Amino acid sequence: MSTIGSFEGFQPVSLKQEEEDQPSENDHLSTKKENLGKDPGPRRISRQQSMTKATLYPNPYHQPYVSRKYFVTRPGAIETAVEDLKGHIAQTSGEKVQGFWLLTEIDHWNNEKEKILLLTDKTLLICKYDFIMLSCVQMQQVPLSAICRICLGTFVFPGMSLDKRPGEGLRIFWGSTDRWSLLSRWNPWSTEVPYATFTEHPMKQTSEKFLEICKLSGFTSKLLPALENAHKNSAGSGSGKELMVLTQPILIETYTGLMSFIGNRNKLGYSLARGSIGF
C-alpha cells in the first residue's frame, strides 16, 4: 500500500507558527545593514505616529451651535419679549406679571408651537411671539377663575395613529369639550379649542436661565396656587367653579398626523434660523 508521501505532486512541508513566518526585528535590522552597504544613499524609516488631528468646524454636535439656531436663545431676545409683553399688559389691563415661562404648546392636531406664558393674579396669558422680528403675533387671555380642570400625565394616542410623541405634558381646560363642535375639532386652525396642552421647550438644557423658565414643573408650581386664590375669590362672589387637578394620560386625537409629522420634524412652530437661501 502506498503512502501519501509517495504521491506525485505532494511534497512534505514543515508547519511553523504564525509568529515564525513574520520577520523579526533583528532580521529587519540585518537586512537594513546589508542594504546600507549596497546603497550609497542612507535611507531612514520613521516610525513616529502622526500628531496632527482633523476636526470639523463648527462641530454640529456641539450644543452652543445647535442652540443658536433658535432665535429665542440669542442675547437679549427673551428679555426684550418679556418687557414688551409686560408693557402691553400694564397698559391694557393694569395687572402685574407674577412670572413668565417659555414652553411648547401642542395643539389638537399635534403641532408644536413656541409660546410665552405669563401669569398675573387674575389671568393666564398665552402669547405667540416672533423672536425674529421681536413682536407679539397673538395673545390669548384666559381668566384664572374660568379654568376648571388641569391634567398632568404622559401623552397617549389612538392605536392607529402614525405620528406619536413620547414625554409628559400639562393640559389646562377652561371649557367643556362636550360643547366643542365637530367642525372645530377637525379644523387645524380652530381658535375655539376649550383647552391648551403644553410641554417643555427643547432649549431647556442650554443654560441655567432657560432651565428655570422652560421647566414644566416650575410653571405648574406657580399656576396651582394662583388658581386656588382666583377660585376662592370667585367663590366669595358666588360665581366660582370647582377646580379639579388630575393625574392621568393626556390623549391627542391624531390618526394620520402627516401635517404634524412634517411641521414638527422641521420645527416650523419655532422662530428658527433656516439657513441661507441663494448663492
CA dihedral 108, 111, 117, 123 (to 10 degrees): -20
β-strand pairing of 135-143 with 195-200: unpaired
Question: How many Å separate Cα 256 from the centre of its chain?
Answer: 22
Answer whether residue 1 is part of any domain.
no
Answer whether residue 44 is part of any domain.
no
pLDDT at 12 over 70: no
Answer whether residue 17 is part of any domain.
no
**Which has the minimum average pLDDT: 88-92, 166-170, 180-184?**
180-184
Question: Which letter does DSSP use for residue 184 in this model?
Answer: H
CA 203/CA 217 separation, integer angstroms: 15
- What was the pLDDT predicted at 64? 60
Answer whether residue 21 is part of any domain.
no
- What was the pLDDT predicted at 239? 58
Domain count, the chain: 1
Mean pLDDT of the chain, nearest integer = 80
Judged by DSSP in three states, 14 sits in coil
Spatial contact of 162 and 257, defined as CB atoms under 8 Å apart: yes
CA angle 84, 85, 88 (to 5 degrees): 90
Answer whether residue 22 is part of any domain.
no
Answer whether residue 126 is part of any domain.
yes
Answer whether residue 77 is part of any domain.
yes
Query: What residue numbers bound the domain in which 227 lies?
Result: 63-265
Answer whether residue 37 is part of any domain.
no
Per-residue pLDDT tens digits for 91-101: 999 999 999 99
Cell numbers for 118: 405669563
Q: What is the pTM (predicted TM-score) of this model? A: 0.73
pLDDT at 159 over 50: yes
pLDDT at 225 over 70: yes
pLDDT tier for residue 36 given thresholds of 50, 70 and 90: very low
Spatial contact of 197 and 86, defined as CB atoms under 8 Å apart: no
Read off the pLDDT of each residue in 133-141 and give the average, rounded to a whole number: 94
User: What CATH number should be reported for the domain holding residue 159?
Assistant: 2.30.29.30
